[in-house]
Structure 1
Amino acid sequence: MTIERTNPPTLHPTPGYHHVTTVEASRLVFLAGQCPLDSTGELAAEDLEGQTAQVISNILTALETAGARPEDVVRTVIYVASQDRDDLGAVWAWLNDSPLAPAFTTASTLLGVAQLGFTGQLVEIDVTAAL
């Protein structure tokens, strides 16, 4: 399996992700959008930082179950229930300071949205990995 991450010179610089991710793989892993729910199905925290930490933990567990690592991630979509760019920037920083950080060097999208599926939910991340 090969993963090539590139930034075309005529596109704008990025804060860590790559514009283009090209993959030759024998198996793809698609995670359901990972929410800030703990193992009992309860919202793990009420604040953005605590919820982001739970989502990171959930993604690491799901990747491990599939035999994948953060370095195998080829696409992420990050949803933050906020229109405040500072909140989006904080989530991006927490993700890139976590053990999941290699996943965000790939093709990534960060979105501020009006609301997410669970009451009180502030963050959700979709992940695709290639093996």
Structure 2
Amino acid sequence: MTTERPAPPELSRLNPPALSPPSGFSHAVVATGSQVVFLAGQTALDTDGKVVGDSLPEQFERALANLLTALRAAGGTPADLARVTVYATDVADYRARAPELGRIWRRLAGRDYPAMAVVGTTGLWDEEALVELDGFAVLS
């Protein structure tokens, strides 16, 4: 008995020339696939439920790693991410550290950027958290 595997999902990243050139994100991601994985917001929590890292880059790295851990548990890879939203308690600090955060992203998730947004917020569920990431992915 053979079982046919469904075709892998296709994520087409679109960056129209009529929009400003993207840096570290895609303007649109068109997803064709059979399974959507919604990823809960992740902060820099360790396995004991404590926020680790004192700086935005440290917390961003842990939050992204946590998001990718949840994605991998669902059978996905960073290239399957279609959308990520970043919630930052200090958007000016996020903007100032964007090159460093971009290097962290590329090291952990590669260069297949999802559609992204950064949203400023006055606080997060975990009071010590400086950043939270959520998103969704499309898998076969």
Q: TM-score, normalised by structure 2?
A: 0.83
Cα distance, 1:48–1:16 mapped onto 2, change above 3 Å: closer
Residue 93, structure 1, aligned to residue 109, structure 2: no
Aligned to 2:25, which of 17, 21, 45? 17
Q: Which runs of 5+ in 2 are unaligned?
A: 1-8
Displacement of 1:94 in angstroms is 4.3
Deviant stretches of 4+, over 4 Å: none
1:117 match: secondary structure: coil
CA RMSD of aligned residues (A): 1.7
CA–CA distance in 2 between the matches of 1:45 and 1:97?
20
1:108 match: secondary structure: strand
Displacement of 1:89 in angstroms is 4.4
1:51 match: secondary structure: helix
Displacement of 1:78 in angstroms is 0.7
TM-superposition CA deviations, 1:78-121 (whole Å, max 9, x none): 1111042x433425424434312345x12111122221111111
The alignment covers a number of residue pairs equal to 129
Cα distance, 1:25–1:71 mapped onto 2, change above 3 Å: same
Q: Which amino acid aligns with 1:18?
A: S
CA–CA distance in 2 between the matches of 1:116 and 1:88?
18
Aligned to 1:51, which of 59, 62, 66? 59
Cα distance, 1:22–1:88 mapped onto 2, change above 3 Å: same
Larger radius of gyration between Structure 1 and Structure 2: 2
Aligned pairs for 1:114-129 (under 5 A) are 114-129=122-137
Q: Which amino acid aligns with 1:36?
A: A
CA–CA distance in 2 between the matches of 1:59 and 1:31?
7
CA contact 1:88–1:110 (8 Å) conserved in 2 = no
CA contact 1:95–1:101 (8 Å) conserved in 2 = no
Q: TM-score, normalised by structure 1?
A: 0.88
Q: Which amino acid aligns with 1:26?
A: S
Moved more, 45-54 or 117-126: 45-54
Cα distance, 1:81–1:60 mapped onto 2, change above 3 Å: same
Hey, what does 2:16 align to over in structure 1? 8
